[in-house]
Amino acid sequence: MSKLTINTVAVIGAGAMGAGIAQVAAQSGYQVCLFDLADGKAHQAKAQIEKSLMRRVQKGRLEHSELELTLARIQCSSRLSEVAGAGVVIEAIIENLEVKQSVFRDLEAICQPECILASNTSSISITAIASALETPERVVGLHFFNPAPVMKLVEVIRGVATADDVAQRALEWARSCGKHAVLARSMPGFIVNRVARPFYAEGLRALEEQVASVADIDYLLRKAGGFNMGPFELMDLIGHDVNYAVTKSVFDACYQDRRYQPSLIQKELVDAGFFGRKSGRGFYCYGEKSSTVEPNVYRELLTPVENVIQIGQWQPTEKTFEALTASTLMKGSSLLLKNTEQALNISMSAMLEIDGVLVIPTRGKSATQLADELGCPVVVFDYCQDYQSSPLIAVSAALQNTIQQTEKAIAYIQSLEKQVILFKDYPGMVVWRTLSMLTNEALDLVNKGGASLDDVDMAMKSGVNYPLGPIEWGRELGWQNLKETLEYLTQFYGEERYRPSPLLRQLAYGNE
């Protein structure tokens, strides 16, 4: 297929996504034909673009001359024949395969043979869309994220028949618009919607098992995990109708793989019409009924403990915890404990002994299981991206503990000037378990040829604003740690949901 210099971009559909894509292309210097079959819809979208740009002008973020140039580049149409001269056509209409196939057949008939035919679909197979055409090799996915003028990521999706040069030109075009373009195969969920599933699923699983409240889980993942929003806040923002539909779509497309199993709690919200912010109620209430929900931190300030002993050496994962605790450890102390070696093997890191209570970083076993294996009281604490900057540390206590024993650990963490949230005993806890599953899902996608390691990290940081990419997290947390965490969870639940990816196993074996 010969190459065509792209001067004109056509956008099919003048809804929110179509208008956003048209604005991106026009601001990047391309002539744009914004098409919508509904009479006047494209002109309405252009008026909204003008309002959006005018707000930027008023804030001093855009020159008025640039606004005028951008608007001059956008031509509106309700006649599909007027997109015939475009170098790339981007479809942004309803998520319905048959409707999309019909539109693409029409585009194939009127557009130049060298024109790239692209879909902005977030969930429908590019291969399936292209299968209706005589020239499926010219079809590619260009998945922008909402709002398109703001979000940096574009997923470029290859179908089975997509030609190499079409995918490459699509990448180059997206990058010419200032976007972070990544290449993915047409697999269920592509990159972001697939890899992000555990972020929602693990929050919902913890809620189903009554580990903690919605507010506690969100607060922990924001303050300790470094995420901009907790899973329940984010699902409320996205809309439960949308988020649940995506989860169900990936679940069904992957032949009911239990890793993607939808949550009955979220289904209840959808059935009730509690979609989140847009309906005024989801996990939280909004509008007139809104109220601030405070996390359930341990309110009582306990008397600091006197005897704190460190066993073993901290892993790099806990280096900031080591720095936090270094000044409080008793110098020259030793622990007379016969099963110290066993304890170190179980925790895979250092631990603290506080008046007979072992305080251990989570690695996938519950505190109750560790207490049974070690024969002493155990409190497990969750992972923090930075223990020094995080305002809180979450802990879980073994069922065998007395409240007095658990409060020994809580008192010590309070003495480090940290808030404490006491969660129900839960293997892997919340942050560590979520990061383990995100990394595992990313590696599974890479292992199946869905995307490269680097593109997965770029996609998750640019598309959903994760503080690190899941591959970066995996390197930081340790492949072996994550593999064993997932193996413990698989054994605990007796489910395939937590099975380690073959690539995670290979990376873990390579680092042993």
Question: Which residue among the candidates 119, 120, 122, 186 is catalytic per the annotation?
Answer: 122
Task: Tell me which amino acid residue 312 is.
Answer: G
Catalytic: 143? yes
Q: What is the 3-state secondary structure (H, E, C) of 295-359?
A: CCCCCCCCCCCCCEEEECCCCHHHHHHHHHHHHHCCCCCCCCCCCHHHHHHHHCCCEEEECCEEE
Question: Which residue among the candidates 91, 108, 155, 484 is catalytic per the annotation?
Answer: 155
The contacts of residue 287 (CB under 8 Å, 6+ apart) are 280
The CA-to-CA distance between both ends of the chain, in Å, stands at: 48
The 3-state DSSP class for residue 184 equals strand
Catalytic: 119? no
Question: Which residue among the candidates 91, 125, 143, 484 is catalytic per the annotation?
Answer: 143
Write out the E strands in 16-166: 31-35, 74-77, 88-91, 116-119, 139-144, 153-158
Q: How far apart are CA 434 and CA 205, in angstroms?
A: 10
Catalytic: 122? yes
Catalytic: 64? no
CA distances 228 to 56, 277, 296, Å, are 24, 17, 20
Report DSSP state, residue 425. P
Write out the E strands in 166-237: 180-185
Question: Which residue among the candidates 193, 213, 249, 390 is catalytic per the annotation?
Answer: 193
CA distances 503 to 33, 440, 456, Å, are 45, 9, 14
The 3-state DSSP class for residue 3 equals coil
Task: Count the Cβ atoms, other than its own, within 10 Å of residue 38.
Answer: 10
The contacts of residue 109 (CB under 8 Å, 6+ apart) are none
Question: Does residue 295 have a cis bond before it (omega within 30 degrees)?
Answer: no
Name residue 276's beta-bridge partners.
281
Q: Which of 133, 45, 53, 126 is nearest to 90 (CA)?
A: 126
- DSSP tally for the chain: helices H, then strands E: 21, 14
The contacts of residue 166 (CB under 8 Å, 6+ apart) are 1, 116, 137, 138, 139, 140
Write out the E strands in 151-239: 153-158, 180-185
Task: Tell me which amino acid residue 202 is.
Answer: E
Catalytic center residues? 122, 143, 155, 193
